[in-house]
Structure 1
Amino acid sequence: MSWHLKRMAAFDLETTAADPEEARIVTACIVQVGGGQPPQPATWVADPGVEIPEEAAKIHGYSTERARAEGRPAAEVIEEITAALGQVLAHGIPIVAMNARYDLTVLDRECRRHGLETLLDRYVDNVIWPVIDPFVIDKQVDKFRRGSRTLTALCEHYKVKLDGAHDSAADAIAAARVAWRLGATRPELAAMEIEALHHAQIKWAADQAAGLRAYFAKTAGKQHLAETVRPEWPLIPAQRGEGE
């Protein structure tokens, strides 16, 4: 049975910032779907412990006041999210995350910030850390398609229902639907074992980053952005002492 027909765990965060090194988690969702079993969702709301910028609040709907009123302490939420993902991986279920490099790096830095074991601390496998990233896969299989590559754009392109953009639960489910559609419509992807797909994405993501870096380097007014592009996937390794 192909990977896209098996159980998957879709993961999404809504945060305070676009920079994963600085972002704090506000909401999160992990929803297990597929494999002939009913969906199993888990959601969280955190008080990030910092002011939520107005521009971020406009995107996901959580102001500083709302997060303080409805959210639980950040460390508790981060511990539960990380433990839940660790359990998913321990059972051999791949994580689906749109632009995984962002969400998994944010979670990693939040763990370090609060003195918690990271996902890598809890689950280290020398063979595979199974992640499915619709963002990376779509850019690989349809390199020359013009237009946006946001989750909303991918849902439109692949005719996938998106119930409410920038809601962590809605975005997580939509990412899983796009992943399923990619597997269902691309025989070359469906034929890959999950281990091979994971390792292929590491190379694809690095190649895509190199292309973006080259584009910035030769584009007037954007040269400074070239050094901000990171090739690592599915998360950016932390510098020694980071978060301490």
Structure 2
Amino acid sequence: MKITNDTPAEYSISEIFMPDIVHARFCVFDMEGTGMDTVNDRIIQIGAVIVENGKINPSRKFESLVNPGITVPPQIERFTGIKNERLLDAPGFGAVYERFRQFIGDDKTILIAHCGFEYDFSLLQQECKRAGLEYFVNPKLDTKVMFANLYPERKETFSTDFLLLYYRIQSDDVTRHTAAGDSILTGRILENILNDYKILGISHFKLVGSRRILKFIPQVLK
């Protein structure tokens, strides 16, 4: 896999091949952090679900708060609903990461997040580096890239909200902007994308030429 940050607004990705994607096992995850700086900010919550054979496994869910060791800014408290007081007794990153590894189960499971190549994977890798822990060797994907590869003619920014509307996915039964809630929604998005792959008769994920992806640029939180 090759990723190049072309501009602040877009990146290019190429050289990915994953066989039999429609029957693969995925760990769909989401993280909340103290901010958008993947080098200096910290993880405060991890949520995940397992997708197997194109469907969310309702019995396989992961959720944990993470004590970041730093103060969560007020705007992040308001956005996520996660207050500093709730994190005081939460486990540190190392303990949560070990539980998360056990939840994933093996190094063949595909790790996938929405905007993962822009935020989640970099933030997670930096946390591992800071804690002296081995970063995942699992294959990695992004629902945004999967959708863009299916529909190269579309030029929108494929935000979570865009894909929820595009696929008419129910979202009022989960809490948004929490890692647990957003991982479920990303899992539902992945279910629909994988169904599109089946309908189109595509069994492998293959990206040889470079694909440009518009980044999601969040509004400034106040």
- TM-score normalised to structure 1 length: 0.67
Question: Could you report, residue by residue, the CA deviation over 1:150-206 in whole angstroms, capped at 9, with x for unpaired residues?
Answer: 21221111112222221111211211211221121245865132xxx2x528943xx
Aligned counterparts, 1:18-29, within 5 A: 18-29=36-47
Match of 1:44 in 2: 64
Question: Does residue 170 of structure 1 match 2:181?
Answer: yes
Task: Decide which structure has greater helix share.
Answer: 1
Instruction: Give 5+ residue unaligned stretches, structure 1.
Output: 124-128, 213-244
Question: Could you report, residue by residue, the CA deviation over 1:208-233 in whole angstroms, capped at 9, with x for unpaired residues?
Answer: 36xx7xxxxxxxxxxxxxxxxxxxxx
RMSD, aligned α-carbons: 2.8
Instruction: Give 5+ residue unaligned stretches, structure 2.
Output: 1-18, 216-222
Provide the identity percentage: 21
Contact 1:16/1:56 (8 A) holds in 2: yes
Contact 1:137/1:201 (8 A) holds in 2: no
Question: Could you report, residue by residue, the CA deviation over 1:132-164 in whole angstroms, capped at 9, with x for unpaired residues?
Answer: 311122234345546553212211111122222
Bigger RCO of structures 1 and 2 (CA < 8 A, at least 6 apart) = 2
Question: Does residue 12 of structure 1 match 2:30?
Answer: yes
For residues 114 and 95 of structure 2, what CA distance do their matches in structure 1 show?
A: 24
Q: What is the letter of the counterpart of residue 50 of structure 1? A: I
Flag the 1:150–1:21 CA change in 2: closer, same or farther, 3 A: same
For residues 172 and 4 of structure 1, what CA distance do their matches in structure 2 show?
A: 19
For residues 187 and 80 of structure 1, what CA distance do their matches in structure 2 show?
A: 33
Flag the 1:55–1:202 CA change in 2: closer, same or farther, 3 A: farther
Flag the 1:52–1:200 CA change in 2: closer, same or farther, 3 A: same
SS at match of 2:163: helix
Question: Does residue 59 of structure 1 match 2:108?
Answer: no
For residues 49 and 11 of structure 1, what CA distance do their matches in structure 2 show?
A: 22
Match of 2:48 in 1: 30
Contact 2:67/2:91 (8 A) holds in 1: yes
Match of 1:109 in 2: 126
- TM-score normalised to structure 2 length: 0.73
For residues 92 and 186 of structure 2, what CA distance do their matches in structure 1 show?
A: 27
For residues 64 and 124 of structure 2, what CA distance do their matches in structure 1 show?
A: 13
Match of 1:75 in 2: 94
Number of positions where the alignment pairs a residue of Structure 1 with one of Structure 2: 192
